[in-house]
Structure 1
């Protein structure tokens, strides 16, 4: 029987190896965190990283200049990148980072947002949806999955696959000038959209949302906009049948007159849910995370992952019941990319620095966290190198067994 002492000895030894990346970006093969070359070209930006299936990772990005841009993606399986594909290219100016989502049955859905030409509103954008059934070689004619009355706000969108082979799409709408509404639609495997649904009639304007599925339940987490300019994190559970529940994940009571441009992240599987987010309710930037054992209906007290933080979080759940979170923190004049592991009882098992340097502004300011096979991956856009970067670490370096977790 393995003891907790033996686990923590192994874990923090791993943390020391992991931390070597902060001072040795050109990592050697002996380190647990390693830099992974990607097909993303110099000047790549606006990335999105996701698990395509158990063994495959999908990275998408934008490349090009103001004259011509390309929305591209590539799939990595067992350490090898397939040839990248281009979803769309032309004289586009992309707004929120575009997405490629793996659907049930093997199809792919691409979602991208572009600014409207010669629009009076500088934030006016259009969302386009296309389906590929041959791995991204050919794409269906792009559709706009919302009515003509919609006024798409350029800040964010999120998507998640459905059990029926379609996917859910969430965005912010500002057809009412005095408020921002969180809207959603369900899109079938044929690319046809259902009627739009209002998830929340008044939300924080430009903080990113995240949407995930667990069975037939969708969970969308976002920064709410409440009386007194409170902008705490909320989660809404919904499905094709409508809204099941919604509420605040934790009452930080952050009052701020303006959007902090810093949204939450969520992961959910087998009824377990974790939400990670940024708050500065007391004037100090903090990253927190909270767990739910009933699919997000109720959350426990949050655990603080780091102070002196800039946020821009992402999170995922591991099979052992623990969670991994990544976020941007401050490090003097630079910033620092952090990753931590925590368990449902709130115990922070350890954290490590992955990168120290600069990050770009919106729309490439975020980081991405994903798992594929036995690896955990983190992606970000490096200002100095002017490209998307990716690192990976074995799950075993961060994972305890059930005995270690007290299960």
Structure 2
């Protein structure tokens, strides 16, 4: 269990002003004034039928998969299928219900175990409170027949549970989530509650059995996405932290040996904000190297940054700015090799992407698609499958939302 102590908090607060002077000049290394390239080539592939949204991308054994939600009247249906160059194939219904908690920023996901079994989760209302909902998990060993959904957590409180990330860890699955069991909340529209949101993690096998569970951090931001990856050195989990003075910078907890280390702040942006910005970090790994992307608006300067680590998050390089000055955040990230990552984000009605080199050199930004800045446009998604970057996003330009996908070859992404 990772708990705060007053000395650590005081030291963190005391270093805030110092870090501004230390890093403000260094971070300019990644800033470049450049034009935006034309939209990415190739056909767009539509996933889903009427009113489809909340896409999520993953890969397994060299194949790319997408999940999404379709909504009609009071019923929500979770589907998934395999993406190829021209269509979504082998579409399957995972589960459906009329008592789900459907949120623009907290989307269902699927992930594959090493043996090819699949785990999927969605959110289900647990009580009358606005933010009273549970994480429900269902599994399949053939992609067609799914187990009866059951709760991931066992606290039994009618509070907020969500913002899940899943990463295959050997034969099992690492699952992390935000857990509101200590808040006593769920009844207010503004996340008002008495206790603190926590970050928890568990390991589950392909039979749906939890093998172990941990409390990773006992005070975190209420509604920003979590992220996880498994490097050659072990798991690493990123999230938006929350100090006693409402500094909400990005934290990381990594696995060392046989236990989790304490929370470490990736970089002291010093973003003091008395509310959740609903903009979580993303993390990816290549060997023991990590790349982490996040959004901050410290000092009223909206920015997207990327940082690299060569030792599973024990130390970090200098943060690299990749946004163009008016970013909305909503980042995603894939690490390409031990030198490059590719990042996507939203800015001025566009979904943009660009290559980032760990030495600070940036590729020209690429316009992936037009988009709105409304919540209904959601969070664009990305995955890297054997030399190809796949992207998916929600098109909310019409009354009924639809999902679009497209792809880029890695040699196009990393070429200068």
Distance 1:383 1:399 in 2: 30
What corresponds to 1:170 in structure 2? 176
**1:148 Cα shift?**
3.1
TM-score (norm 1): 0.84
Structure 1 residue 223 and structure 2 residue 223: aligned? no
2:402 to 370, 374, 387: 387
**1:78 Cα shift?**
6.1
Q: Is the contact between residue 152 and residue 172 of structure 1 (CA under 8 Å) also seen in structure 2?
A: no
**1:356 Cα shift?**
2.4
Which has the larger displacement, 245-254 or 209-218?
209-218
1:263 to 280, 296, 300: 280
What corresponds to 2:231 in structure 1? 214
Distance 2:164 2:99 in 1: 18
Deviations 1:174-205 (A, max 9, x none): 22222100111111121101343111100010
Which has the larger displacement, 369-378 or 245-254?
369-378
Which has the larger displacement, 219-228 or 347-356?
347-356
**1:92 Cα shift?**
3.5
SS where residue 196 of structure 1 aligns?
strand
What corresponds to 1:369 in structure 2? 382
Q: Note closer, same or farther for the CA distance 1:182–1:191 as it changes in structure 2 (3 Å cut).
A: same
What corresponds to 2:112 in structure 1? 102
What corresponds to 1:114 in structure 2? 124
Superposed, 1:6-405 pairs within 5 Å as: 19-21=37-39, 33-53=41-61, 55-77=62-84, 81-95=88-102, 96-116=106-126, 119-134=127-142, 136-150=143-157, 152-164=159-171, 166-177=172-183, 178-215=195-232, 217-238=234-255, 241-306=258-323, 307-319=325-337, 321-330=339-348, 335-361=349-375, 365-385=378-398, 386-400=401-415
Q: Note closer, same or farther for the CA distance 1:249–1:375 as it changes in structure 2 (3 Å cut).
A: same
Distance 2:159 2:53 in 1: 22
What corresponds to 1:8 in structure 2? none
Distance 1:241 1:120 in 2: 40
Distance 1:284 1:91 in 2: 41
Distance 2:269 2:404 in 1: 33
Distance 1:63 1:150 in 2: 28
Give the alignment's Cα RMSD to 1 decimal: 2.2
**1:304 Cα shift?**
0.4
**1:90 Cα shift?**
2.8
SS where residue 222 of structure 1 aligns?
strand
- How many corresponding residue pairs? 366
Q: Note closer, same or farther for the CA distance 1:302–1:85 as it changes in structure 2 (3 Å cut).
A: same
Structure 1 gaps, min length 5: 1-14, 22-31
**1:374 Cα shift?**
2.7
Deviations 1:328-368 (A, max 9, x none): 112xxxx1111010111121122122222314416x62111
Q: Is the contact between residue 130 and residue 140 of structure 1 (CA under 8 Å) also seen in structure 2?
A: yes
Q: Is the contact between residue 249 and residue 299 of structure 1 (CA under 8 Å) also seen in structure 2?
A: yes
Q: Is the contact between residue 286 and residue 337 of structure 2 (CA under 8 Å) also seen in structure 1?
A: no
Q: Is the contact between residue 161 and residue 180 of structure 2 (CA under 8 Å) also seen in structure 1?
A: no
SS where residue 101 of structure 1 aligns?
strand
Deviations 1:138-169 (A, max 9, x none): 112322222234555255111111102x2111
Distance 1:148 1:133 in 2: 28
**1:77 Cα shift?**
4.3
SS where residue 150 of structure 2 aligns?
coil
Distance 2:256 2:132 in 1: 28
SS where residue 351 of structure 2 aligns?
strand
What corresponds to 2:29 in structure 1? none
Q: Is the contact between residue 314 and residue 325 of structure 1 (CA under 8 Å) also seen in structure 2?
A: yes
Distance 1:210 1:370 in 2: 14
**1:46 Cα shift?**
1.3
What corresponds to 1:12 in structure 2? none
What corresponds to 1:3 in structure 2? none
**1:79 Cα shift?**
5.2
Distance 2:81 2:396 in 1: 22
Q: Is the contact between residue 337 and residue 356 of structure 1 (CA under 8 Å) also seen in structure 2?
A: yes
